[in-house]
Amino acid sequence: MTDRAEIGDAVLYHGNCLEILPTLPKVDAVVTDPPFGVGNFVQTTGRIMGRGANAGRAVRWNDAAPPPELFALLREKSLHRIIWGANFFNCFEARGGAIVWDKCQSMPNFSKADIASCTHFQKTEMVRIPWTNFTVTHEAETDHPCERPVRLYEWCITYLPTTGSVLDPYMGSGSCGVAATNLGRKFIGIEIERRYFDIACERIDAAYRQRRLFA
């Protein structure tokens, strides 16, 4: 079943993006962070830890990596794309470049940097954004195990060659939607897990109210 919520300029769907995407009109840009598909690793080592109410506990979540047809669908539905986890999916495109988010971590671990394929940079162009561009320590706002900083998404959206609509088909806790709302962009989000969908609705609603307050 698909639920739909409208908040300001955002339309949010609770459901499977592989089923919902074919029903949507074309957007200007996709900015997204699909599951990397490291589920086995997580279950055997418990290395993905919850936050907030789940702090200190390993959490299970919907970590199946997207199938190859997802990337074809995203190409059909958008003009520009920034897709995190590009080194896991090898979803680099013929003419695109890359964004590297350097988390500036001194200790060895499995996620020192994240790489996004980016269609509006040239093939040989790689832009490095150090963590310190956002906040020295990112205080998570939700218990989503993969919540990303809103400022990372604000950076991505600001540097798109368009001021049009932004789609995140793997919305999670809604950080991309909060960033789009803060920047006054139209946003479409899809999330398969009900509790993360509800968290995303709450955060995007709060961002919308905040923007209205100062409009």
Question: Do 66 and 89 form a contact (C-beta atoms < 8 A)?
Answer: yes
- Region 115-144 residues binding ligand SAM, contact defined as CB under 6 A: 144
Select the residue interacting with ligand SAM from 5, 18, 58, 183 (CB under 6 A). Answer: 18
Contact call for residue 80 and ligand SAM (CB under 6 A): no
Contact string 26-65 vs ligand SAM (x = CB under 6 A): -------xxx-------------------------xx---
| 63's tokens | 């970590």
Please identify, using beta-carbon distances, which residue of 62 and 210 lies nearer to ligand SAM: 62
# residues near ligand SAM by CB under 6 A: 22
Provide the pairing of β-strand 126-130 with 187-191: unpaired
For residues 79 and 66, give the distance between their C-alpha atoms in angstroms, rounded to a whole number: 20
Q: State in angstroms the smallest separation of the CB of 57 from ligand SAM.
A: 17
- What b-and-e string marks burial along 47-85, b requiring 16 or more CB atoms within 10 Å of the CB? ebebbeeeeeeeeeeebeebeeebbebbeebbbbbbbbb
Give the count of beta carbons closer than 10 Å to the beta carbon of residue 167: 27
Q: State in angstroms the smallest separation of the CB of 95 from ligand SAM.
A: 25
For residues 19 and 35, give the distance between their C-alpha atoms in angstroms, rounded to a whole number: 17
Q: State in angstroms the smallest separation of the CB of 156 from ligand SAM.
A: 11
The identity of residue 160, as a single letter, is L
- Region 187-206 residues binding ligand SAM, contact defined as CB under 6 A: 190-193, 196
Please identify, using beta-carbon distances, which residue of 66 and 96 lies nearer to ligand SAM: 66
| 175: Cβ contacts below 8 Å, ≥ 6 apart | 147, 148, 149, 150, 152, 153, 203
For residues 57 and 4, give the distance between their C-alpha atoms in angstroms, rounded to a whole number: 31
Q: State in angstroms the smallest separation of the CB of 169 from ligand SAM.
A: 6
Contact call for residue 181 and ligand SAM (CB under 6 A): no
Please identify, using beta-carbon distances, which residue of 110 and 214 lies nearer to ligand SAM: 110
| 3: Cβ contacts below 8 Å, ≥ 6 apart | 13, 14, 15, 197
Please identify, using beta-carbon distances, which residue of 95 and 112 lies nearer to ligand SAM: 112
Residues at the site binding ligand SAM, with contacts judged by CB under 6 A: 16-18, 33-35, 61-62, 144, 146-148, 169-170, 172-173, 175, 190-193, 196
